[in-house]
Amino acid sequence: MASHRKSRTPGTRVAGIRTPALATAALTSVALLSQTADAAPGEARPSLEEVEKKVGDLYRQAESATEKYNAAKEQTTKQRKRVDTLLDDVAQRTQKLNEARAELGSYAAAQYRTGAGLPDTATFLLAETPQDIFDQRQVLDRMTGRQKAAVDDYVTRQTETMKKRQEATESLRTLTETQGDLKTAKATVQKKLADARELLSKLTAEEKARLAAIEKRKQEEAARKAAELARQQAEQEQARGEAAQQGGGASEGSGSGSTGSTGTPPADSSYGTKAEKALAFARAQIGKPYVWGATGPGSYDCSGLTQAAWKAAGVSLPRTTYDQVNAGTTVPVSQAQPGDLVFFYDDVTHVGIYIGNGMMIHAPKPGTYVREESVYYDGDSAIHSIVRPA
């Protein structure tokens, strides 16, 4: 974990969407106010700070469910392809097995026509499993070479077909489980969002105004911190340039600013080229709506946007935030470069793409649009890590 991290209560590594503070504050405000509506006279009502905290908790549940949905959807798609492949294989093997069975049948019919009683090959046709066939091996001693070859072929095909049928059965069982996970996650997200809409519909104009004032102050503080980060990064860049002019360029720059506590070197020119393509794509999506589970082109969720942006640069990222966070090299916040991924919260529930000067492009939450925003939009302690994906 980068050195800038602050101590927090450990969380579960699940992931998802983020929420604008005004909407989230409004949401929990109504929830808490409704909870205290029947309180005894004189009982203290929750502060707006408490309201905002409760709101964040509610939307984080939707975030986690969204990333679980993304993971289950991806797994379901892969598993369905595997099942289809296995079923096709079983069908082909069954056809070949039937052909081998027919060949044995032809030998049995020929023996029967000679009046030899129960044909030797018929013994194998009556066997239900490969083991049943092996138990009749003494019969092989009375067979011709071609008959023995036909029996061996039949046994091999029956064994392989039974194995593939078992694999297909197990894969179908796994597919059913992943479809269940997908259904559960989808229902959870839908319920959380439905609850949000219902609570927001009860918000008074006065409550909206008070929470909007708090949100404005938070945005101002986030902008101040972004400007401070931009200043620090500019100073580091200047120091590296001065060191290079003095002849100590590569080694001194690497030791003083380009390499941090993680020992990560600065982004090279090839990374810069890829990052420019990723950022160009991300900027082109600004104004498009957030839709949970969406990967474009008309709408995105947070990890869907970052995945699509880097795909435009020729880099394949995993689908979910908690997989994307492991798909690169971690660097300190002070060394963030344009194109780096910015992850939030201990449970990695949100991601944006850094554009420089303490700012990022991200898809916040349902009801909002892809936009530029300070990486400190929810406070500096919310930043989990910075990851360089290429």
Q: How far, CA to CA in Å, does 39 sit from each of 31, 34, 35, 49, 206?
A: 14, 10, 8, 20, 21
Q: Which of 68, 240, 350, 384 is catalytic?
A: 350
Q: Is 384 a catalytic residue?
A: no
Contact 84, 175 (CB under 8 A): no
Q: Which of 164, 240, 362, 384 is catalytic?
A: 362
Pairing of strands 371-374, 359-362: antiparallel
Contact 334, 347 (CB under 8 A): no
Mind spelling out the 3-state secondary structure of the chain?
CCCCCCCCCCCCCCCCCCCCHHHHHHHHHHHHHHHCCCCCCCCCCCCHHHHHHHHHHHHHHHHHHHHHHHHHHHHHHHHHHHHHHHHHHHHHHHHHHHHHHHHHHHHHHHHHHCCCCCCHHHHHHCCCCHHHHHCCHHHHHHCCHHHHHHHHHHHHHHHHHHHHHHHHHHHHHHHHHHHHHHHHHHHHHHHHHHHHHHHHCCCCHHHHHHHHHHHHHHHHHHHHHHHHHHHHHHHHHHHHHHHHHCCCHHHHHHHHHHCCCCCCCCCCHHHHHHHHHHHHHHHHCCCCEECCCCECCCCECHHHHHHHHHHHCCCCCCCCHHHHCCCCEEECHHHCCCCCEEEECCCCCEEEEEEECCEEEECCCCCCECEEEECCCCCHHHEEEEEECC
Q: Which of 302, 315, 383, 387 is catalytic?
A: 302
218/377 Cα distance (integer angstroms) = 7
Residues marked active site are found at: 302, 350, 362
